[in-house]
Structure 1
Amino acid sequence: MSKTYSAADRVYDEVKELILSCELPGGELISEGEIAERCEVSRTPVREAFLRLSAEGWMRLYPKRGALIVPVGERESREVLEARLLVECHAVRRIVERPESVAALVEQLQANLDAHRAAAGDEFTRLDNDFHQLIVDAGRNSLLEDFYTSLGERRRRMTAASVHRDPAVSARIRDDHAALAEAIADGDADRFDALLQAHLSGVHDVRDVTR
């Protein structure tokens, strides 16, 4: 029994990672047999993993046909971006009120940017996530930090989808992040607000994202 559940956990982790990295893109139909062969397990742990992923909203099950990877819908995209805008802009306003916090954060953001310039694939999306999480964490509001962290998987998947859709997005993300870090270094929360709104709208192709 423990072996069955251990295999189900492994399949769950592997398939979820494929979804978050967009190696299994939204709208794709996959079968238990396909995943069982890929993960080198029987269909039983795959079925258990699929049920768990379905309960979390990552896939939709169709008996005898397979599982559909649920795409990121327009409403979900807009709501995630609006939430990000609210939390990050609030954090920056708190940060610039404490000049002693600005230098430490900018140093962390610069290190992230340095790593980002050489990154690709999953490492790129992880660093993108980390850049924005650093800003929120520096705002020193534990409830907002926890909430923003809870959006991490959705944030990562949306960024991966944008990069897969248009490889030029990677360069834009790096340039936008440099501009956002500069606004924080200058203590200019209003400029940060405008830059972040343009960044989120442009990278994720969702127009008129507002707080």
Structure 2
Amino acid sequence: MLSKTATLALPAPPKATPAAEKAYRHVKQLVLTDELPGGTMVSEGDIAARLTMSRTPVREAFLRLETEGWLRLYPKRGALVVPVAAGEAQSVVDARLLLEVHAVEALRNRDERERLEARLRASIDQQRDALDRGDIDAYAEHDTEFHLTIVAGGGNPLLTSFYVTLRERQRRMVARSLWRDEGRARAFVDQHEHLAAAVGAGAVAEFRVALRRHLDHAHLPERAAEAGEAR
């Protein structure tokens, strides 16, 4: 029986070689930015040639990506980029809504609200700058950081850690929903302005409604369009 002070020593995961790490980051970036859309087949040879390396580190990277759920490997055929599952967008939207609204509710006073609003407006400036430069990928990263800043502002590290696990799925969905449409991206930034103002004013109910609309437009465009027609 373990004593109260005893700890279980878990084996550390094997450290990837520099080449395998490079291949892993490269392929994951292609998946998250939708340059390798769901349903695409990709081979070790293609990636190895692109990165001018042998297939061995690429194979290691593919195995790691399969473990994380991004790829599905087929011997002698290559790897399939796993499509976004049916209902996954809705699940992510619901989780984000709960976490972000809770964070705003947790702000205790006007100073906290104003400090968070200032950080959000700095992020908005970065988003606009990225769009002015035509860098949609940088915009997507700043978009993710904007929402993470809201959750972190609630001061609950456990919820913030959970939110971080959603970041990559969010980033992939943002890339999919934008489809390189700069006009939609600029509309999202305008919605961020509304969210930041609601945070600063402590208008939680207004924030909740605006956030739901924003997330639906970003990740569930068909449902958002139906809602617009209904109005």
Q: Give the TM-score, by structure 2 length.
A: 0.84
Please tell me the residue identity of whatever aligns with 1:172. A
**Cα separation, 2, equivalents of 1:54 and 1:189:** 40
Matches of residues 178-189 of structure 1 in structure 2 within 5 Å? 178-189=193-204
Partner deviation per Cα, 1:98-141 (whole Å, 9 max, x = no partner) = 21201111111111111111212221011101111111111011
**Cα separation, 1, equivalents of 2:121 and 2:169:** 24
Q: Give the alignment partner of residue 73 of structure 2, picking from 43, 61, 80.
A: 61
**Stretches of structure 1 lacking an aligned partner (at least 5 in a row):** none
| Partner SS state of residue 13, structure 1 | helix
Q: Give the alignment partner of residue 63 of structure 2, picking from 45, 51, 61.
A: 51
Higher Cα radius of gyration: 2
Which residue does the alignment assign to 2:228? Answer: none
**Cα separation, 2, equivalents of 1:191 and 1:117:** 24
Indicate conservation of the 8 Å contact 1:125/1:156, yes or no: yes
- Distance change in 2, residues 1:77/1:170 (3 Å): same
Which residue does the alignment assign to 1:134? Answer: 149
**Cα separation, 1, equivalents of 2:46 and 2:161:** 36
Indicate conservation of the 8 Å contact 2:40/2:81, yes or no: yes
Indicate conservation of the 8 Å contact 2:110/2:200, yes or no: no
| Partner SS state of residue 49, structure 1 | helix
Which residue does the alignment assign to 1:160? Answer: 175
**Cα separation, 1, equivalents of 2:177 and 2:209:** 21
Please tell me the residue identity of whatever aligns with 1:184. V
| Partner SS state of residue 118, structure 1 | helix
1:100 is aligned to 2:111: yes
1:91 is aligned to 2:103: yes
**Cα separation, 2, equivalents of 1:107 and 1:166:** 27
**Cα separation, 2, equivalents of 1:18 and 1:147:** 24
Please tell me the residue identity of whatever aligns with 1:115. Q
Identify the range of structure 1 (159-168 vs 37-46) with the bigger mean alpha-carbon deviation: 159-168
1:112 is aligned to 2:123: yes
Which residue does the alignment assign to 1:37? Answer: 49
Partner deviation per Cα, 1:41-87 (whole Å, 9 max, x = no partner) = 11111111111111110011112221111111232211111110000
**Cα separation, 1, equivalents of 2:86 and 2:218:** 14
RMSD, aligned α-carbons: 1.6
Please tell me the residue identity of whatever aligns with 1:163. L
Q: Give the alignment partner of residue 75 of structure 1, picking from 61, 75, 87.
A: 87
Please tell me the residue identity of whatever aligns with 1:41. M
Q: How many percent identity over aligned positions?
A: 47
1:149 is aligned to 2:164: yes
**Cα separation, 2, equivalents of 1:157 and 1:176:** 20
**Using CA pairs below 8 Å that are at least 6 residues apart, which structure has the higher relative contact order?**
1
**Cα separation, 1, equivalents of 2:67 and 2:121:** 39
Identify the range of structure 1 (156-165 vs 170-179) with the bigger mean alpha-carbon deviation: 156-165
Which residue does the alignment assign to 2:10? Answer: none
**Stretches of structure 2 lacking an aligned partner (at least 5 in a row):** 1-15, 225-231
